[in-house]
Amino acid sequence: MSRTNLVMARVGRHSLHPAWTANAQTRNWDLYLCPYQPLAPQESQDCTVGEVIVGPKWTGLREVLRRWDGWRDYEYVWLPDDDIFASQATVNRMFELAKALHFDLCAPALHETSYYAHYVTMRNHRCFARRTGFVEIMVPCFRASALSALLPTLDGTPTGWGWGLDSLWPKLLAYRNTGIIDATPVLHTRPVGAFRDEVLARRVRAESDQIMAEHDCAQVHTTFGAIAPDLSNLAMSNEALTALLADGWRYLWQSEPAVLPWLVRAQQPSAGWSEYPIAGQPSCPVR
């Protein structure tokens, strides 16, 4: 098999997946479309199109992942939403870095102009990649063996919306080898969190609460470590890491100041922050 990775996308008629294959560069991934409504002919896309499965994202993916074992032959499997704009080169590089960093679960960061729900998923300008306690269900990328181990968790979302799974997966992986790749940002083009049906909204939120209660997990928006362009882990104190992250997300908290206290709270060590110093050194020489 020449292509060692798989993109499996739950798509509709307005999906942005044609952008992912828009040029003739060599790809290191195959594309499998799992449509939730009939699609126009896809002959030009170099992809496999499955049968139409009506319903939300994780309803269709759960059925395909259980019915078709072909995905198990790949090293990594990316499950993006269909409103993600990304270049072929970006997807190639994301897979390369996921493997190089030995991630079991990861995601590309969201581009600065994306609609977003969680600040930790957004691109950090000071990091090449980050080791994190949260990988959102929007664009998760799994090592195939990890996806196999986590597949039973999809039974926990009868609605098919998947809320709460992104809190559960990192815990089941012991918060190891999970992260976000800032070097390969993708653009999320549609607003998040909007429900037209309030009854469905309550069901989805209740489902998420049940997943987290049953598994004693929560959204862990902590960044455990920053990764440099040479793929080395940056050694620094909790305080230094928090300062680095704050600088890298300056564009976020300058437009939404609440992001800064959220960040500080998420990064606080279990033993609390260091005591306030009673003496300090000048930050620059006195002239």
Q: Are the C-beta atoms of 71 and 65 separated by less than 8 Å?
A: yes
pLDDT 10s digits, 190-202 = 998 777 889 999 9
| Cα(75)–Cα(67) distance, integer angstroms | 19
Within a domain: 23: yes
pLDDT 10s digits, 121-171 = 999 999 999 999 999 999 999 999 999 999 999 999 999 999 999 999 999
Give pTM, 2 decimals. 0.94
Question: Which two tokens mark 140?
Answer: 């998760």
**71 lies in which domain range?**
5-267
Question: Which two tokens mark 47?
Answer: 């992809």
Report the C-alpha dihedral over residues 234, 235, 239, 241, rounded to 10 degrees.
10
How much is the mean pLDDT over the chain? 94
Within a domain: 222: yes
Within a domain: 282: no
Q: Can you give the CATH number for the domain in which 157 is found?
A: 3.90.550
| Cα(71)–Cα(143) distance, integer angstroms | 11
Report the candidate in 129, 217, 208 with the shortest Cα–Cα distance to residue 170.
217
Q: How confident is the model at residue 217 (pLDDT cuts 50, 70, 90)?
A: very high
Within a domain: 30: yes
Cβ-Cβ contacts under 8 Å for 180 (sequence gap 6 or more): 106, 107, 108, 109, 120, 121, 129, 130, 132, 135
Taking 80 as the threshold, does the pLDDT of residue 95 lie above it? yes
| Cα(54)–Cα(42) distance, integer angstroms | 19
Within a domain: 279: no
Count: domains in the chain: 1
Quote the distance between the C-alpha of residue 220 and its chain's center: 13
pLDDT 10s digits, 15-58 = 999 999 987 678 999 999 999 999 888 877 889 999 999 999 99
